[in-house]
Amino acid sequence: MNKNPKNNKLKQLLKIIVLVSSLFVIACDSNRLIDENKDLPVQGWNYQNKLIFDVPITDTIAQYNLYLNVRISADYLFSNLYLNLHTTTPAMQKQTERKELILADENGKWLGKGLGDLYDYQVPVKEKFRFKENGIYRFELEQNMRNDTLSGVISSGIRLEKVSQ
């Protein structure tokens, strides 16, 4: 077996480039508080299956952006997705907002970033807002379509980030 030293050096260089690039991407995303998705059952997302995300907030002066994340398969039957976003403050005050995510255009072309038959969406729902108090905020996502169990949704979640000054 004849090993080519040029190939080994090239592989080592490639590993270093990937490592440095990964560290750079992580460092550039320092404003992110949470960017988490939860996988949904293969049989579908039942409306009773709320996805829960607890986020500690320590800065009430900063502004934040909130996004909803969704991954669907090409088997998803609709061009949109209605979600209820339930927010509970540290003082246990609750608020619910119904959000519509447009997933396909009028011709049925998926608008998300695709890889194979999967499409990812990150949709802004609140921009440049402030939290009123420090503590743990609970965000719950609930599918709000007409089907009790919604097939074709692979995962969903939230991203919360501080706005760069």
Q: Residues 26, 49: one domain?
A: no
Q: Residues 56, 110: one domain?
A: yes
Element (H, E) at 19: helix 5-28
Q: Residues 80, 9: one domain?
A: no
Task: Quote the domain boundaries for residue 124.
Answer: 32-162
Q: Residues 109, 138: one domain?
A: yes
The whole-angstrom separation of Cα 130 and Cα 128 is 7
Total domains in the chain come to 2
pLDDT tens-digit profile, the chain (165 residues): 445 666 666 556 555 655 554 444 444 568 999 999 999 999 999 999 999 999 999 999 999 999 999 999 999 999 999 999 999 999 999 999 999 999 999 999 999 999 889 999 999 999 999 999 999 999 999 999 999 999 999 999 999 999 987
The enclosing domain of 70 has a CATH number of 2.60.120
Q: Residues 69, 107: one domain?
A: yes
Q: Residues 26, 46: one domain?
A: no
Q: Which pLDDT belongs to residue 90?
A: 98
Q: Cα–Cα–Cα angle for 103, 51, 152, nearest 5°?
A: 40
